[in-house]
Structure 1
């Protein structure tokens, strides 16, 4: 008999994400959801829309880009490749180039705030203006190349613990071209706390971020992975287990968010984990059987840092099939805007009431009327779980339609080239003034989109 895993270890695992989210999905099949109705007849509509988008945008679906923050940095032009070319010309080898890209990408993920439709960023080199995730990434890149995240003026293109711990809000506001009157960016103070926490983690976890220079850097996790006892070195490149990378990633932001969020960012010591009343059957107050983990930020980090490790060093990450669809609100919006899932009437009414109450508060951004809930509300927990589970199913059906197997059309490609893009396009059509998701998650300290 296989021993039952310790609850904390299980809920911190990727295995638990898929299993618990599918348990919520199965509750829907029994008409046991508390907050949403599911119309199984509309699932094919979701699949057809995603397939149509893939066929429109890609001649070869198996060559779609993988899901990662690299895409955000290269909107409009190949900025990362330009950096790599400059580093190569200066004599930096592939390992150091990878460290630098990891430095940048990790900070990029932690600063990946859900910028609304009002904020924008004007790129200095081109004069072009970018919004939302792409605008944030271009702003982060300019801060990075200017040396904002490095404590050594002679080595500006890096991120290190000293610079992160001493980073000021003014530096970030200037870097993001923030103007509270005309170009506000919600949540930047919280993201600064995340970066300062990362600086502390870099110093406290020398086992993960062992130094290759005078100060710890996030990119040094590459050295930890390459020298790990479970890593196999081959002629083609290192074979690295995802299980080796996962605990490192968890330390870099997610656990900090949960520990400081008063329940809005998850459960202390467990991270992005929330109770779901749709699968709560035990009366034992100590039971965690109804807890649903998502680990969204940590998975976004993994998806984002795997790509440079593979492309620049030829590494292979073993175990990526454990990664799940991300419960981002673009992905979740796809399921709602196609009519596949709908808020129950009483929950919709409660969400609209929340919206109206919030609109009376001073300083709130102008958004279209939509149901609004806080991150830890059972509605949001159920929505995220359904998104994670059903996107797995959508990906499988898309493969069937396109006659491609998992190796040819991976989950990470389906997300980047199809479901996330589909959710964004539907938001632009359904809510043209703001392009927000169909349910608004009220911003709270340390809440991550």
Structure 2
């Protein structure tokens, strides 16, 4: 951790001197501030990480944390709390701090926390919470950075459910020139069909039953920023034409309005469906598909990301431990082997949920394969080679059967399998199936 620049914000002079001496001994550069006001006056561009005391004179640690996040949203902050303030420290983590330490703490604990925090928050290994060193994720990180800084205002994200499309959308916003404006998310599958238009474009008073006052839509709220349309494939056909009109020229009309309005919005849409197939089947407008399908990002499934699996599991374990106010769980070798054999149909979301469950049931413990859910235990009981062969044979049979039933039409075969056309293409390549 040599040349890491640490900002220590604490009014205890003795502690600041002690920490400064110890961290300089590890090759770090040190800056200090004895109050929140002094910390916020410092130039943060060259700071890599902040150690922030909760109990400060003047504005307290929580208010200072808010100020730091406003000035530098990606700057990692470790909260330092006095004994008995653990609940407040946990609340600080929920408000954006990376981690916390309770006084008194050992130097080794501090160094480990700094190291883990920098590893989790380093921009070269993570974009807005996306963890991974695999080739697939490295390519994704690079693409996100390029697209975020570009002038592109219509972007389509493809990938299986649970792969992190929302995180990618947030990263595209955070790293763009629009970051200071709003990021507005709407799930197109979660709203009743009769309310989606008013939700997106707003409504005038009396426009429909229950419209007792004028209402601003999400497009208006996202003006200057980013509108994330998740599950775009579920958008009703009746609204697709109006969305297309807005995408073409930024013009829209609120429900019941007599005049059109305009908004400058970057639209990021996401789906786990094969929109090209939906177009062929008449479920999605062809002109809207081609308007969206200009800049496309394909988010890799967890099973395609190699050693990212263990990195993510450890990341979630650390975060969940902070959330629960307990020690982090550890993954024993047989558990790691079982995790690697699992196919993760729910992707990153499934892994996160598993770690949350294990942390709540077995806080601070070493997790063995026997402590995993029954499905993962059953896989762990068989030799890796046997399980791998069985899974590959089963997958090959499913894919070839779907291709046969669809007369070799890949879009139809993907629909039968419940995956995207892009995911099917990757499987065909991996299984060596030529059609």
Q: Do both share a fold (TM > 0.5)?
A: no
By percentage of residues, which structure has more strand?
2
Tell which has more relative contact order, 1 or 2 (C-alpha 8 A, sep 6+): 1
Q: Scaled by the length of structure 1, what TM-score is found?
A: 0.23
